Amino acid sequence: MRLIPRALCGAARAAWRESFPLGGHAVARWFPGHMAKGLKKMQSSLKLVDCIIEVHDARIPLSGRNPLFQETLGLKPHLLVLNKMDLADLKERQIIPMVTELIGSSYRYHRGESLEYCIMVIGVPNVGKSSLINSLRRQHLRKGKATRVGGEPGITRAVMSRIQVCERPLMFLLDTPGVLAPRIESVETGLKLALCGTVLDHLVGEETLADYLLYTLNQHELFGYVQHYGLGEACDDIVSVLKRVAVKLGKTQKVKVLTGTGDVNVIQPNYPAAARDFLRTFRSGLLGPVMLDRDTLQSHPSAGAQGHRPAQTDP
C-alpha cells in the first residue's frame, strides 16, 4: 500500500472522515486445505458430541461468523461464547453451568445412557478456542494447559482427542482448527476479522488495517492512542499518525536518495513497522476496550438476540 498524505490533520471532529473508503481494497481468499479437512472431520465426529460451543471474538459479535457451522453442525445444541470480552467491555457469564443446562434440556439420541458430556469447540481462527479450553481446565481441574495457544490464526490444525475440563459433571472438550467461510461476506467484515487477528495481516495490508483502526477509534471517540503514543491531539490522517509513531519508537530507516550532487542518506519513518506496533497495541488491549460492531448493533438492536444461545466468557 502506498500512503498518500492527506492535507487535513487536526482534532476538529467535523473534519474527520464520515466513512472508510472501501473502494480499491480487497481481502484475499484464505481457505487452506487444513480448514476444509477440519470441517469434514468435525462432521464425522458429531456422533460423539453432545453440544457445540462456538467461540467468537467479542469485539465482532455479529461479523465474520462462519455460516457453514450452522449448515453442517446444526443438529446439536449450540452455545455461542464471546471470548476476549475484556477487549470489548462486555459482562461475564459462566460456561460450564450453561452447557450442562443446555444438554439437560436437549435430546441426546444414542448418547442418552452416557454419564459423560462431550463438547466440540468450534470457531473461526484465533478467537481463543484453545485458550478457553485451557482456562476451563485450570478453573475446574486445577491443571495446566492441554492445547497449544498462539497469537496468529492457524495454530490448531486438526481435530484433537478429547480433553477433560471438568469432573462434576464429567465433561470432555474437542479442540478443532479455526475455519473461515470460503468467501468473506464483505471488505469491511474482512477488515474487522483481520483487526482481531482472525485473517492474516498480509492478506489485507498492515497499513490499510492501521488506517481502518484509526478511522474506527476516531468514529467511536476512543482516543487512547493519543495518550499512548504521546501525539498531543487526535488525528484522522494515518500517514501523520504512523510517522509520529515511528519517530517516537525509533522505527526509522536510512534511504539513499540520488541527487544532482550525488547520493544522500535520508532518514525516513518505517511505516510498516509503525503500523505493526499500532495493531499490536490495539490487539493487546492497551488502547482500551473497543466494540468494532458497535454501529451494526446500534442500527439493528435485535441482531444480537438472533441465532444461538449466547454467552460471554468467564469460564
Nearby residues of 306 by Cβ (< 8 Å), 6 or more positions away: none
Does residue 65 have a pLDDT over 50? Answer: yes
Q: With cut-offs at 50, 70 and 90, classify the pLDDT of residue 123.
A: very high
Q: Strand 51-57 relative to strand 117-122: parallel, antiparallel, unpaired?
A: parallel
Q: What is the mean pLDDT of residues 190-213?
A: 91
Q: Where are the alpha helices (DSSP H) in 45-106?
A: 67-73, 95-104
Q: With cut-offs at 50, 70 and 90, classify the pLDDT of residue 10.
A: very low
Q: With cut-offs at 50, 70 and 90, classify the pLDDT of residue 1.
A: very low
Q: With cut-offs at 50, 70 and 90, classify the pLDDT of residue 70.
A: confident
* CA atoms of 256 and 273, how far apart (whole Å): 19
Q: What is the mean pLDDT of residues 103-113?
A: 82
DSSP-assigned beta bridge partners for residue 52: 78, 120
* CA atoms of 278 and 241, how far apart (whole Å): 10
Kindly state the cell numbers that stand for 8.
487535513
Cis peptide before 169 (omega within 30 of 0): yes
The whole-number pLDDT of residue 213 equals: 97
The whole-number pLDDT of residue 36 equals: 78
- Length of the chain equals 315
Greater model confidence, 3 or 244? 244
Specify the DSSP element, H or E, that contains 140. helix 129-140
Kindly state the cell numbers that stand for 186.
464483505
Nearby residues of 70 by Cβ (< 8 Å), 6 or more positions away: 78
Cell 495518550, residue located = 227
Q: Strand 51-57 relative to strand 163-166: parallel, antiparallel, unpaired?
A: unpaired
Q: Strand 171-175 relative to strand 51-57: parallel, antiparallel, unpaired?
A: unpaired
Q: Which of 150-159, 186-195, 211-220, 259-268 has the least mean pLDDT?
A: 150-159
Q: What is the mean pLDDT of residues 297-305?
A: 59
Does residue 193 have a pLDDT over 70? Answer: yes
